[in-house]
Structure 1
Amino acid sequence: MALPTDVFELADSIPRSSFTKVNIAGFFVYLYGIDELTPDQAKDTTVFIHVHGRTRTYKDAEEMAHELLHQQRARGGTKKGLVVATLDNRNHGIRAIDTMSIQDWKGGNPKHAQDMLSMMKGIELDVKTMMDFLEAYFDGIFTPTEYIMTGTSLGGHVTWDVLAEDPRISKAIIIVGSTDLTSMLVERLGGYSSVSEVPTGTPEWPKSIERLYVERDKRLREIKGKKILILNGDIDPLVPSKFTRPWLDQCAASNEVAFVEQEGFGHGVSYQMMDSVADWVLKVLV
């Protein structure tokens, strides 16, 4: 048996669910589990949207999709249907046009701050477009009646944004995502503890991008009435939990929040996290 701190990998013994792809607005949406829906489930289907991390591709969602759908069936199924949907983020996978702009400062990209936030906004728009049109593309096959968002790393940041901006998302799972990108980025840039410490004129951190990050983080503090599962590793060097804790202190009481920080785990999805995702989703799949 794998140790709970191991990075999650799908076992060969887990059956693979059906796979479908559709072009919506010029990008592919990849869906898992459509063929397994019963007629009743197809009339009332929850779509679980996963957004992958920076430098990764839609394939990151595949193992999670197969595991989640297998656990749904192994536990006796659910009245509501479940389909997992994902996509290649902008400038990733088959949508890649500039590999340098998905790197961070250490990777040689001087515009990491601009590239990450603008890409996040684009992914948010893609997710909203997918939700707008998915039913029309699968008319007569299945009917999306609810959407749940999740994402890992960059995808976790985007999940926070969609949770704040789109009323269709009332439930979300954030895996190693941050509510305070401003503080996280300036620490990543030069070990600064606040934006006030960044020297004026620093080319990697212009005031114009700082304003956009501050506005983004402020919107997240206005989230209310949502059901949220937050999963972090306590030794994550890229997206430390310390940047989420202030949001928990200020905003958790206005939402239904479960926060799980896994001891001895870093950046990624562990077996324990995957079990938490499945348990949480199948409990809310009513």
Structure 2
Amino acid sequence: MMETAQPISVGSTDGVLGAHTASMSSKPTTIKGTGTPDGREPRFALPDSTPRSSKTTIVVGGVRIYFYGIEEALAASSSSPHKPEVAVLLLAHNRTRTYRVTEGIAHEVLNRYRNDSRPKKMGLIAVTMDMRNHGEREISPESNLTWSGGNEQHAMDLLSLIDGGVHDFKLVMDYLPMYLPQFSRLHNIMGGVSLGGHVAWRMAALASPGQVAAYVMVVGCPNLTSLLLGRLGIKGSEFAGGPVDETRLDRISYDELEPLLSSQQRQRWPRALADHVGAADKYAAEEFPRDVPMLLCNGIVDELVPARYTAAWAERRKQDTQGTQPIELNIQDNTGHSCTKEMVARIASWLGDLYEAK
């Protein structure tokens, strides 16, 4: 079950990360999942009954970029003598998958958005691509493995994928106005799942002011230092200076960290990498835009990317902005590291909230 609470409550929990949110809607909402035999909500799978939107392939910067819903967005505004504005949902997929995952999400979100009875300010299209070293761009399957999978360079391989993904989607956003002259203005929404969610979190540091109108992060993490040190087994209670907040390990210097690291851990988490990642984490914690709407979705039993990192970020941001930033945090019951059908449905309805003509 994924529940939403009153707008004034960002990331509130019941002590164990309950399923609570800060919502842009005025009324509480309850979204129920179906569950699987083990109690976990299944990953989203595009139903056969969902109409497929039009698909257009454009090569941008030597990479195939896939667009969905352009024909429908233009048809919906054909009676106007002016070029229409359009919202653009950019979707980055998860590690070890391909653009087909986010293609499915795009079809479902677009169908729900178009069939939402509320009048909209503008239409919606979606954009995705194969992430670096994935799909048709894959050149080293081993580099996509984790430490437990035998890849000792997991941290730098993962983080360079994230940085590369940010640059790829930034390039697409920069060039979209040239490739889509049919529209008078593009309103970019940067979204992603898992690896793609990390990309969305990092985009704010690279995007031009005002270039991204909203963010959608599904099972992503705002603090990759904390995430990866947690995977290495580093505990906040182990530091010589006393316990530290495990959701902000980027604030710990490498000199403080190094005595806790074994030889293998130092190879897996070298100083140069720690400095690079820590700077990006600090930006996400302190400089992430405070006036941009955000939809954050996590699973309460996600062991790969625990929800506590996102919940802590949202709670700090609530206090920092006195609750004025439009953030919605959903932590779904019975859900691990998955983008569920309930999350996909909420993305569509949230975008409907965002672009409803009132």
Secondary structure at the aligned position of 2:213 is classed as strand
Give the match for residue 267 of structure 2.
203
**Gap runs ≥5 in structure 2:** 1-31, 36-40, 237-248
Q: Does 1:284 align with 2:354?
A: yes
| Structure 1, unpaired ranges of 5+ | none
Shift of 1:170: 3.2
Alpha-carbon deviations, 1:124-182, whole Å to 9, x = none? 1111110111121222x334421001100011111011134323113111100001111
Which runs of structure 2 are paired with 1:140-159 in the superposition (5 Å)?
141-159=182-200
Counterpart for residue 292 of structure 2: 226
Distance 1:138 1:170, change over 3 A: closer
Q: 2:217 aligns with which of 156, 174, 179?
A: 174
- Give the alignment's TM-score, normalised by structure 1: 0.93
1:32 aligns with 68
SS of corresponding position for 1:252: helix
Give deviations 1:185-218, integer Å, cap 9, x for gaps: 0121235446723236721111111111111110
The CA distance in 1 between the partners of 2:262 and 2:42, in whole Å, is: 40
Q: Which of 41, 49, 58 is the aligned partner of 2:90?
A: 49
Q: 1:170 to 1:73 in 2, by over 3 A?
A: closer
Query: Deviation above 6 Å: which 4+ runs of structure 1?
Result: none
| Match for residue 96 of structure 1 among 138, 154, 160 | 138
**Structure with more contact order per residue of length (Cα contacts < 8 Å, sep ≥ 6):** 2
User: How many Å apart are 1:270 and its aligned residue?
Assistant: 1.0
Asked if the contact 1:186/1:198 (under 8 Å) is kept, the reply is no
Change (3 A) 1:178 1:2: closer
> Residue in 1 aligned with 2:17?
none
CA apart distance, 1:225: 1.6
Larger radius of gyration: 2
Query: Does 1:58 find its partner at 2:99?
Result: yes
* Corresponding position of 1:249: 315
Judge conservation of contact 1:160–1:220 (CA < 8 Å) in 2.
yes
The amino acid that maps onto 1:148 is I
Q: Which moved more, 1:273-282 or 1:72-81?
A: 72-81
Aligned to 2:20: none
Between the aligned residues of both structures, percent identity stands at 34
Moved more, 65-74 or 226-235: 65-74
Q: Does 1:19 align with 2:59?
A: no
Contact 2:65 2:129 in 1 (8 A): yes
Q: Distance in 1 between matches of 2:179 and 2:327?
A: 33
Distance 1:285 1:229 in 2: 14
* Residue 188 of structure 1: aligned partner: 231
2:355 aligned partner, one-letter code: L
TM-score (norm 2): 0.75
